[in-house]
Amino acid sequence: MKHELSLLSAAQAAEAIRSGRISSEALVKTCLDRIRHSEPDIGAWAHLVPEEALEQARAADLIRKSGRATGALHGVPVGLKDIVDTKDMPTEQGSQINAGRRPDADARLVERLREAGAVIMGKTVTTEFAYLRPSSTRNPANTLHTPGGSSSGSAAAVAARHVPLAVGSQTGGSVIRPASFCGVFGFKPTRGTISRSGLLRTSATLDQVGVFANSLSDAALLVDVIGGYDQTDPASFARPRAGLLKGAQADVPVEPTIAWFDMPYHDRLAPDAQAGLETVISTLGARVERFSPRPELADLVNVHKTIYDYEITEIFAETVAANIGAVSQELQNAIKRGQSISLDQYQDALAVKASAEQFFARFFNDFDAILSPAASGEAPLICEGHTGDAVYCTAWTLAGLPSLSLPLLVGENDLPVGVQLIGAAEEDDRLLRTAGWIQRSLAGHQSENGE
């Protein structure tokens, strides 16, 4: 039974704890055992707090036994990307410059996790300042390969069943790509759904919070818990949020309509990933409509880059100048690019971003979702020195659209390959409902064909 606890979904674990069938302490001990067994090979954790986690679990069990209220994640372990501030453990943001940094307060999303009864297991490894320099984490599917970035440790920890849930962030493709590489569900909800207060900022415009899980429902449950309005975050919207767990578990009222854009950068796809995606499109049949995008749509990748380089320079130029020997070449290069971008160019890029948001608002009047690659294929080898190509994610991130990586494909080296699904802004429940339909449709097709 002990080994099986780590295979429970977060929703199953929370229900089992609330009903008294298992204890939070037993679940946390099982997770810690798994971490001790595989962490030396994977390196998912920047800071682990075993004793503190067990204390949180015992407190959760006492609360349940006393008959007091329990939350949606009562006693369930969660990992946090090491850019999320926590008052009781370091938040070093993947940089030696911040070694030993201890925030004075929890991030807003950590407050929500504590209110829901979650057990904070520790901080997962991130790339340096959540940018491009690869971290030391390795892919649980094959430790010779990268888990992706920048949310490398969060994706790896969930894939290795160290924790059922983890929080990450995405400014380009830092949730969707690691989820694809590690074979888990990665979900970045609509921009502004989850507060960024208490998180490292690299781009005030583009930074967004996302999550990792081993099921669609678990990803939805976590966002339901940590989402909410925060007046201190300019991107946070003061409107009700859709019920995502309800959406993930719902049946579609009618079969959805799905779009596929033949983007020019799809020539970067590995042959096995291209073949797998074509099989998905073929299986879904008439529900998918293919488009040749206008140049303006394909150029959103460059618009994203302009905004990102300009804003990361505003935030990090002084830090880089003062710590040139302790900062990666990748970040130094971004600062150089950002310093060459004029204010007019930046403002033009912001105007194009606003136009793209309006375009997609109209587009989703006719379509339930956009189907897209999540990454170029299987995870690259670590020796290649990079965390993969984010180009398949940046247009959707720019527009703030909810995006989901579904672990549907396997590449030629038996490594996971995700399929990305993008939905309408603030209609994340509709996106998850469509994703559930796609999963069931593909599984039914495989069953019919004896696969």
Query: Tokens 């810690």 label which residue?
Result: 32
**Is 197 among the catalytic positions?**
no
Catalytic residue selected from 23, 174, 195, 372: 174
- Beta strand spans in 346-415 (E): 369-373, 403-410
What's the CA gap between 168 and 80, in Å, rounded? 7
Query: Tokens 């010779």 label which residue?
Result: 144
Q: Which two tokens stand for residue 66?
A: 């006393």
How many distinct helices (H) and strands (E) make up the chain?
Answer: 16, 11
Q: Strand, helix or coil at 48? A: strand
Side-chain-side CA neighbours of residue 246 (13 Å)? 5
Catalytic residue selected from 6, 38, 81, 123: 81
**Is 328 among the catalytic positions?**
no
CA angle, 361 then 419 then 223, to 5°: 65
Calculate the CA dihedral of residues 306, 307, 310, 314 and round it to 10 degrees: -170
What's the CA gap between 79 and 121, in Å, rounded? 6
Catalytic residue selected from 150, 154, 217, 236: 150
Closest CA to 159 of 136, 186, 119: 186
H-run or E-run covering 359: helix 343-363
**Is 188 among the catalytic positions?**
no
3-state helix, strand, coil in the chain (%, to 5): 45, 15, 40
Mind spelling out the 3-state secondary structure of 253-266?
Answer: CCCCCEEEECCHHH
Q: Which two tokens stand for residue 320?
A: 């880089």
What's the CA gap between 171 and 56, in Å, rounded? 32
Calculate the CA dihedral of residues 52, 54, 59, 61 and round it to 10 degrees: 160
Rg (CA), the chain: 21
H-run or E-run covering 53: helix 50-65
Hey, how many other C-beta atoms are within 10 angstroms of the C-beta on 267? 7
Residues noted as catalytic: 81, 150, 174
